[in-house]
Structure 1
Amino acid sequence: MLEVVCGRRPVEPRASPEEVILVDWVFECLERGNILEAIDKKLGTEYVVEEAELVLKLGLLCSHAIAAARPSMTTVVQYLEGTAQLPGNLGDFGGASNEEDVLSTTITSLAISEPFTSTGR
């Protein structure tokens, strides 16, 4: 999903250092409060803002470093159809001191709570 909406590959070796890894770059855009910055410029303004935000955030959630924290395909479809809402705390990093804490926190709240680069995703 991120590749399609951002118009780029998962790894862009020729990109600026902060934009090399797609998932990390989109997450940085989210943290800065401007996730729409990650959208492919070729789309212009021909998209629904709420749908673009949903796809970007869902792409981040589906790319979580901890597999158990990623939503099932059933849940992904529910998010896309609007019958379920994404958790509001996708940008909640920190608070957990080790992977077990991150995993238990993530599964209960579906928070993205660790940098993606730490495990190579």
Structure 2
Amino acid sequence: MQKGSLDMHLFTRTGDILSWTIRCRILAGVASALNYLHYEYDQKVIHRDIKASNIMLDSHFNARLGDFGLARALDNEKTSYAEAEGVIGTIGYIAPECFHTGKATQYSDIYAFGTLLIEVVSGKCPGTRMNGFQFMVDYVWSLYREGRILDVVDERLQDDYDKEEAERLLLLGLACSHPMAVERPQIQAIVQILSGSLAAPPVPPFKPAFVWPAMMPIDDISQSTSNTTPFSINQF
């Protein structure tokens, strides 16, 4: 992979400044890879560590999803993988429900992809503190509510980008980052949204509260921890 990893170009001064066209192509490539893992491979595969440093780029900046060290293949009847040692992944990309179930699912991969979307459009890592917000996703949600969502687009692009497309990708990033797993779009819809053949899903102006266990899919609730006392964390 002659161009190294995606994070090298997004966060360091040594890499190329990625054009808007290249960024969109990279995201489309990762989504295609994720669709293959979730639905087209012989077994469902959960990657569990989607992030910029695990996206490798060839000489033409075509994306390859790499580092399958944490990935797990599931039997066809299963929907999740439980890690005996607790939550595995990288902070900022880990879906909130994983901290309560200790399980990775297709939903949690989608959450990580949402983080990646915002990362690629903004040129900032998910843990960047902006205007008092601990994570970029919360900052983007605040900008969206104020009608200024394009303010987060990487300034290095110098307005050389498709504004309508940028807004669609940022809204998709927020939809994928929805605290409630079942509200996140599936990867097939994500592929269509990235191609422009489908509109971005509706996103509420305020980030919804994380509610446990009501936000979990039915089959995951039945297999989760014995503590079923509902509570919520208002993240906004």
TM-score (norm 2): 0.38
Aligned length: 103
2:195 match: 81
1:110 match: none
- Structure 1 letter corresponding to 2:153: I
Higher relative contact order (CA 8 A, sep 6+): 1
1:34 match: 148
Same amino acid, percent of matched pairs:
33
- Larger fraction in strand: 2
Distance 2:141 2:209 in 1: 20
- Rg comparison, structure with higher value: 2
**Within-5 A mapping of 1:103-118:** 117=235
Post-superposition CA distance 1:3-42 (Å, at most 9, x none): 01111111125x4413x31000001010000110011111
Distance 1:7 1:98 in 2: 27
- Structure 2 letter corresponding to 1:17: G
1:3 match: 119
2:132 match: 17
Distance 2:193 2:210 in 1: 29
- Structure 1 letter corresponding to 2:126: P
Q: For the structure 1 residues 93 and 29, does the alpha-carbon distance in structure 2 shift closer, same or farther, using more than 3 Å as the test?
A: closer
Q: For the structure 1 residues 98 and 29, does the alpha-carbon distance in structure 2 shift closer, same or farther, using more than 3 Å as the test?
A: closer
2:160 match: 46
CA contact (8 A) 1:24 1:116 kept: no
Say what the alpha-carbon RMSD is for the aligned residues.
3.0
Q: Which runs of 4+ in 1 moved over 6 A?
A: none
Distance 1:97 1:70 in 2: 14
Task: Return 5+ residue gaps in structure 1 as ranges.
Answer: 104-114
- Larger fraction in helix: 1
Q: CA deviation at 1:80?
A: 1.5
Q: For the structure 1 residues 117 and 73, does the alpha-carbon distance in structure 2 shift closer, same or farther, using more than 3 Å as the test?
A: same
